[in-house]
């Protein structure tokens, strides 16, 4: 659970970081930035901010924005609709992000990218200056994600 | 056909425009920028510069950079491998781009985007300051594109 103030602050932070990364946004997009705390109620440590550009039944593109040191908890994208599950490419735009993929640690700096195979356990954490990461992928169905921590809830509740 | 000098100049232009749009590139990416004249030998009028971030068998992401007034000739992405053909979303990052999609004209400015259905005729032209456009799509197979002008050759010959 997050407060309305935490949500507002996180959206403002994400919009400012995207602008600093050279990303032009429409007003509608700025308003549509999603704040996710994964039900853990420690947004600054566990969570992220998302902006979905497009998500068709074939491909998806998003921006992910993280506070300094903020992490997205370990999860995988299982098979669905007869396909192998979501495959995704993380491209760092700003700051630094450390990926943990199937036990292997990788650091991405601006201009560096990595593709995570479907149904593969992964988590990621921003460096000390936060991170802006573009995600290119096959179709995205966030609600199907399988998290390792059973306390995780993908839908954020705003108090 | 383009000269080696035209190719070099176009790659330098594209790298500078991407940097001005806030896009961080690795040295390998800067070197991999593709210059396409579509076999028409009038690069400044008909052509574009491309950087492919990723192209798996499921999705693709590219940056497209155009000189002021430069246009990509009309074409469509036909069905292949049992799928409906490439579906693509153009998102303008810098400058201005005019899309012509099935006879309908749309202008995209930074932060604006449009999704072109598979197998649909389209062309696009940069405004007076050029354009940087990110393309999110299903898997890309440029060599299968069907161009309206029979003189078009997708592979660029460098003299």
CB pairs < 8 Å spanning A and B = 80
For chain A, how many helices (H) and strands (E)?
2, 9
Q: How many angstroms away from the CA of A32 is the closest CA of chain B?
A: 14
CA distance B144 to B148: 13
- Residue B72: alpha-carbon gap to chain centroid: 7
Q: Model-level pTM?
A: 0.96
Segment A42-70 shows an average pLDDT of 98
CA distance B44 to B63: 18
Mean pLDDT estimate for chain A: 97
CA distance A110 to A112: 6
CB contact under 8 A, B59 and A21: no
Statement: residue A113 has pLDDT above 90: yes
Mean pLDDT estimate for chain B: 97
CA distance B19 to B91: 17
pLDDT at position A95 is: 98
CB contact under 8 A, B87 and A58: yes
Find chain A residues with C-beta within 8 A of B24's C-beta: 92-94, 110-111
pLDDT at position A39 is: 96
Statement: residue A100 has pLDDT above 90: yes
Stretches where chain B sits below pLDDT 50 are none
Give the pLDDT band of residue A154 (cuts 50, 70, 90).
Answer: confident
Segment A126-152 shows an average pLDDT of 96
pLDDT at position B154 is: 87
Q: How many angstroms away from the CA of A1 is the closest CA of chain B?
A: 31
Of A23, A58, A93, the CB nearest to B138: A58
pLDDT tens, position by position, B66-105: 999 999 999 999 999 999 999 999 999 999 999 999 999 9
């Amino acid at each position: 659970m997050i407060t309305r103030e935490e949500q507002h602050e996180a959206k403002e932070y994400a919009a400012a970081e995207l602008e600093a990364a050279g990303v032009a946004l429409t007003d509608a997009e700025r308003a549509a930035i999603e704040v996710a705390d994964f039900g853990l109620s420690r947004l600054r440590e566990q969570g992220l901010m998302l902006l979905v550009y497009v998500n068709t039944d074939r491909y998806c593109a998003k921006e992910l924005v993280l506070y300094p040191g903020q992490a997205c908890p370990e999860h995988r994208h299982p098979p669905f609709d007869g396909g192998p599950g979501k495959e995704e490419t993380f491209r760092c735009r700003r700051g630094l992000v450390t990926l943990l993929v199937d036990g292997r640690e990788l650091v991405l700096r601006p201009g560096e990218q990595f593709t995570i195979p479907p149904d593969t356990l992964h988590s990621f954490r921003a460096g000390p200056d936060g991170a802006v990461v573009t995600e290119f992928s096959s179709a995205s169905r966030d609600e199907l994600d399988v998290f390792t921590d059973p306390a995780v809830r993908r839908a954020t509740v705003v108090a």
